Amino acid sequence: MNDTPIHELMACPKCDALHRARHLAPQERATCARCGALLIAPRVRSFLHVVALSFTAMILMVGAVFFPFLKISTQGMSHASSVFEVAMAFSEGWLAPLSFAVMALIVGLPVLRFSALIYTLWPLANGRPAWPHARRIFRLADQLEPWSMAEIFVIGTGVALVKLAGLATVSLGPAFWAFGALIIVTALKNAFLSQWTIWDAIGQS
Ligand SMILES: [Zn+2]
């Protein structure tokens, strides 16, 4: 591998093992020799999968935000709240920035990221040239990934539930399961997404 030009080398996104990149036939895929992570995805099919899963995630996001998330009952009284209602409860006074940050991290950034992926991949999945600024928009989607907080939100809620369970009867609403489905859909989407394949397709078009 010592005589391979640097632009032909690609590092595994999971374990950093170096491989020599080459163009594959549309249906071929390449995985890491060391850890098995996806390196190069079969192009059109994987783009369609990512677009479809991003749409699914956005629809689930609507349910996760506006459907009841938790129902708390104690001594004959009960109250069900959605994530949106909880965030809006703090939207006035000195907690307003917190309310804004919660909505931005749980809802805004993931939606922005899904939209950026759809914008980048939709024309490529249909065999058309990339839309204008696809490079910049796909880089944005990439940079937002560490800030998508839906998983952390659900884990945090789980911890809070364990603590609440002694004080009141807590039941989970449809939004909790929508968040759960969202995490699975996001993980599936990441499994189909190959950075190298997408950059290569943007570069060619
Ligand atoms: Zn690897």
pLDDT per position as a tens digit, 25-74: 777 889 999 999 988 888 778 899 999 999 999 999 999 889 998 888 88
Say whether both 98 and 70 belong to one domain: yes
For residue 2, name the pLDDT band (cuts at 50, 70, 90).
low
Q: How far is the CA of 97 from the centre of ligand 1 (A)?
A: 41
Q: What CATH number is associated with residue 148?
A: 1.20.140
For residue 154, name the pLDDT band (cuts at 50, 70, 90).
confident
Calculate the CA dihedral of residues 177, 182, 183, 189 and round it to 10 degrees: 150
Say whether both 91 and 169 belong to one domain: yes
Instruction: Please give the residue that has the higher pLDDT: either 171 or 162.
Output: 171
Say whether both 20 and 85 belong to one domain: no
Q: How far is the CA of 32 from the centre of ligand 1 (A)?
A: 5
Q: How far is the CA of 13 from the centre of ligand 1 (A)?
A: 7
List the domain range (segments joined by +) for residue 114.
Answer: 42-204
For residue 181, name the pLDDT band (cuts at 50, 70, 90).
very high
Q: How far is the CA of 69 from the centre of ligand 1 (A)?
A: 38
Angle of helix 43-66 relative to helix 195-204, nearest 10 degrees, comes to: 110
Give the angle subtended at the CA of 13 by the CAs of 12 and 17, to the nearest 5°: 25
Say whether both 58 and 133 belong to one domain: yes
* Nearest CA-CA partner of 13 in 46, 50, 38: 38
Q: How far is the CA of 46 from the centre of ligand 1 (A)?
A: 19
Say whether both 102 and 169 belong to one domain: yes
* Rounded Cα gap, residues 133 and 46, in angstroms: 21
Say whether both 69 and 10 belong to one domain: no
Q: How far is the CA of 205 from the centre of ligand 1 (A)?
A: 28
pLDDT exceeding 70 applies to what percent of the chain?
Answer: 97
Q: How far is the CA of 195 from the centre of ligand 1 (A)?
A: 14
* Rounded Cα gap, residues 181 and 57, in angstroms: 8
Given a cut of 60, whether residue 1 has pLDDT beyond it is: no
Cβ 52 vs Cβ 185: under 8 Å: no
Given a cut of 90, whether residue 117 has pLDDT beyond it is: yes
Say whether both 25 and 68 belong to one domain: no
* Rounded Cα gap, residues 19 and 12, in angstroms: 8
* Spatial CB neighbours of 169, under 8 Å, sequence gap ≥ 6: 72, 73, 74
What does pLDDT average to over the chain?
A: 85
Given a cut of 80, whether residue 9 has pLDDT beyond it is: yes
* Rounded Cα gap, residues 204 and 159, in angstroms: 47
Given a cut of 80, whether residue 157 has pLDDT beyond it is: no
* Rounded Cα gap, residues 51 and 14, in angstroms: 23
Q: How far is the CA of 15 from the centre of ligand 1 (A)?
A: 4
Give the angle subtended at the CA of 169 by the CAs of 168 and 174, to the nearest 5°: 130
Specify the number of domains making up the chain: 2
Say whether both 76 and 9 belong to one domain: no
* Rounded Cα gap, residues 116 and 141, in angstroms: 6
